Amino acid sequence: MATLTMAKALNEGLRSAMERDPKVLIMGEDVGRLGGVFRVTDGLQKDFGEDRVIDTPLAESGIIGTAVGLAIRGFRPVCEIQFDGFVFPAFDQIVSQVARMHYRSAGHVKMPLTIRIPYGGGIGAVEHHSESPETYFAHTAGLKVLTCSHPADAFTMIQPAIACDDPIVFFEPKRRYWDKADVDPDVAASASCWSAEVAREGTTATLITYGPSVRTCLDAAAAAESDGQDLEVVDLRALSPIDWETVFASVRKTQHAVVVSEAPLFASLAAEIAARITEHCFYSLEAPVLRVGGASTPYPASRVEEDFLPDLDRVLDAVDRALGW
């Protein structure tokens, strides 16, 4: 048991994966000598060499496209996209090649890529450094999408993600990189990354969320206690496929559901979650499924981002509306 930041927990998870399987490679911009702009790959090049921790030219399509070739050759590349907003030059390779190679080859070619993307806002950054593009990838058949919300999950989820024979887009909530928590290395071996977790048990209403918004929702639930509300928080962890049974079981119990994410709500994962809950829990619901998320704007200038991002008050406002329906 050790107390680690999320960045360090990911670093340890990557190290374990590399020690376990010599075919695991890390590639991306600044991942080697610098150790990544968030230091997630710190020290790995020094220990595993330049052939396994590859500082790449500065071109995202090239990172993913060459990783496809390496995967065909039998390697297991872990690609870092430096920031969420820089994934789009690689979008074509991800959507048209990575996601489809196994299908196109009728199962002959596996694509065991892990594409790590620091995502989300709240760090006062310039444009293209605060996006939440997870819906694009969850929408794409052939990809699986994961996101962690705390250091222990970061450590335990990154390893099965790398070991998985399917391509995984692994979203890391960058404003939580420096959150600290206890991490038990022994848990990792048996951990599943495909199940949702009830991060807080409650009875009044369910907050369904993931990634950076999990802590927001836990804070909101703690604050709501003084109002006599006992909120349940479900951390999805897997965004594609989603562990619906955990979600539905919670909503059937609390009869109220609020979905929280930083992404703009229109045609979003939150929309899909709301639709599914409505379809499967219709007779349990006391109120429509409500959603709290980013505005349908480009990510705004950082001085107003706190008004864009779901915060404790907006979450609780939605809970009040649901309970008062």
Partner 1 sequence: MTEALLPQPSEGPDFVQLLTPEGERVEHPDYSLDVTDDEVRGLYRDLVLVRRIDTEATALQRQGELGLWASLLGQEAAQVGAGRSLSEGDFAFPTYREHGVAYCKGVDPVTLLGLFRGTSQGGWDPQDHGFALYTIVIGSQTLHATGYAMGMQRDGGSGAVMAFFGDGASSQGDVNEAFVWASVFNAPVVFFCQNNQWAISEPLEKQTRIPLYQRAQGFGFPGVRVDGNDVLAVLAVTRAALARARDGDGPLLIEAYTYRMGAHTTSDDPTRYRLAAELETWKLKDPIERVKAYLSRRGAGDAEFFAAVDAESDALAAHVRAGCLALPDPDPLTMFDHVYAGGSSLLDEEREQMSTYLASFAEAAR
**Site residues (vs partner 1, CB under 8 A):** 25, 51, 56-57, 59, 61-62, 64-75, 89, 92-93, 96-97, 100-110, 141-142, 144, 164-166, 240-244
Q: How far is the CB of 20 from partner 1 (least distance, A)?
A: 17
Given the complex with partner 1, which of 101 and 218 has the nearer CB atom? 101
How is the beta sheet containing 53-55 ordered, strand by strand?
53-55, 24-28, 76-80, 114-119, 168-173, 144-147, 238-240
Given the complex with partner 1, which of 42 and 243 has the nearer CB atom? 243
Q: How far is the CB of 19 from partner 1 (least distance, A)?
A: 17
Cis peptide before 151 (omega within 30 of 0): no
The crossing angle, in degrees rounded to 10, of helices 269-280 and 244-254 is 60
Round to whole Å and give the CA distance between 195 and 157: 11
Query: Measured on CA atoms in the order 231, 237, 240, 245, is the torsion positive or negative?
Result: negative
Note the helical H segments in 232-268: 244-254
Q: How far is the CB of 195 from partner 1 (least distance, A)?
A: 11
Instruction: Count other C-beta atoms under 10 Å from residue 294's C-beta.
Output: 25
Please give the radius of gyration of the chain, using alpha carbons only, rounded to the nearest integer: 19
Q: How many CA atoms lie within 13 A of 317 on its CB side?
A: 8
Instruction: Count other C-beta atoms under 10 Å from residue 261's C-beta.
Output: 30
Given the complex with partner 1, which of 4 and 79 has the nearer CB atom? 79
Burial readout 132-161 (b: 16 or more C-beta within 10 A, e: otherwise): bbbbbbbebebbbbbbbbbbbbbbbbbbbb
Q: How far is the CB of 74 from partner 1 (least distance, A)?
A: 7
Given the complex with partner 1, which of 166 and 230 has the nearer CB atom? 166
Residues involved in catalysis? 129
The crossing angle, in degrees rounded to 10, of helices 213-224 and 312-323 is 60
Q: How far is the CB of 107 from partner 1 (least distance, A)?
A: 4
Q: How far is the CB of 164 from partner 1 (least distance, A)?
A: 6
